[in-house]
Structure 1
């Protein structure tokens, strides 16, 4: 079956003001709601109803059925072609995608190796968190996104030349570029609000 991921952008100040023992329930309710709500969520953004000052929004990635697999496969595709991308764009996309696609990848084994600017973070009060980015992490990723976005289309040629026999969820360049662009949309929205990001396993 694989792992599903529900993504929230959150006002970290609001979440941190809640006692630690209640935070996990707070964000899980925001992400999943009732069983009926969860099954009927539209793709794209969902903002909470009935909250005078919204502290979160949910993002449903398009064409993923909430599965984390497309994000994993996007990282695999990038790993295949990154050595053939101009250094400035490669560095920007390495840094942008590091906490989003690569997971616990051993950065030093990449060719060429790199060190992520945004570190992986543990979250002890929400053990189901797959992705946990503070507002300052989001701001850093947004900086890299502004460098990636203008060059995203230029990755078409290296994708076609160096991603041999694509399979799985990300099986052509359009699906790769679309998923990267969706992450750009999420990062931009969170950065403009000064919010963080939580990706929860389901």
Structure 2
């Protein structure tokens, strides 16, 4: 999975075909870069190029979305032990991050994500896993401001109640890291009034 933050106003001004090529090259490198391996963290275009995008490579995930799935599984187990204000804010903030329909939603009476990924708005041959417009990114940023100060308080219930290591997210450090990285992506896009795209590798 590759995550881009993009200037949606700029992309809207580009025809659908060239737009796909621009997004694909931003996510996966130039066509002739067969062995291109994105560095972890942020990659920005060279200063001489149009600055309409940036790519974020999640740490320790090997570009796979499995870590996101397992983080959702761990949150499903944990959320019953979290006070309602933090639980509700993290429910909303994590909904696009924890793939496969944020697995806890099907087990939680009355939960409905106010911000959820949706289909790409142009006929794309790219495998788009996540599509969030600038106004949706702004809403996620609001939830992150509620989550960030208290994220560390989840360590105690995590370590008390989630004692069996499972999948890619086996401890609080890995869970917190993934959430915090998403907490870097969202504000970077929100400050620029940009969109977020997640593409399958």
TM score, norm. by length of structure 1: 0.91
- For the residues of structure 1 that align with 2:60 and 2:103, how far apart are their CA atoms? 29
Equivalent residue, structure 2, for 1:27: 23
Query: Which structure 2 residues correspond to residues 25-174 of structure 1 after superposition, within 5 A?
Result: 25-34=21-30, 36=33, 39-105=36-102, 109-123=106-120, 124-126=122-124, 127-174=126-173
Greater CA drift, 145-154 or 35-44: 35-44
- For the residues of structure 2 that align with 1:118 and 1:38, how far apart are their CA atoms? 35
Matched, 1:16 2:12: yes
Q: Which runs of 5+ in 1 are unaligned?
A: none
Once the two structures are superposed, residues 127-162 of structure 1 have per-residue CA deviations (whole angstroms, 9 ceiling, x without a partner) of 411010100110000000000001100001121122
Q: Which runs of 5+ in 2 are unaligned?
A: none
- CA shift in 2, pair 1:96/1:59, >3 Å: same
- CA shift in 2, pair 1:139/1:192, >3 Å: same
- For the residues of structure 1 that align with 2:34 and 2:135, how far apart are their CA atoms? 31
Greater CA drift, 66-75 or 156-165: 156-165
Aligned CA RMSD, in angstroms, stands at 1.8
Q: Secondary structure at the match of 1:8?
A: strand
* CA contact 1:7–1:198 (8 Å) conserved in 2: yes
Greater CA drift, 148-157 or 26-35: 26-35
Greater CA drift, 36-45 or 26-35: 36-45
Q: Secondary structure at the match of 1:42?
A: coil
- CA shift in 2, pair 1:158/1:37, >3 Å: farther
* CA contact 2:3–2:27 (8 Å) conserved in 1: yes
Once the two structures are superposed, residues 71-126 of structure 1 have per-residue CA deviations (whole angstroms, 9 ceiling, x without a partner) of 11111110111011000000000000111114324775323431111133111433
Equivalent residue, structure 2, for 1:194: 193
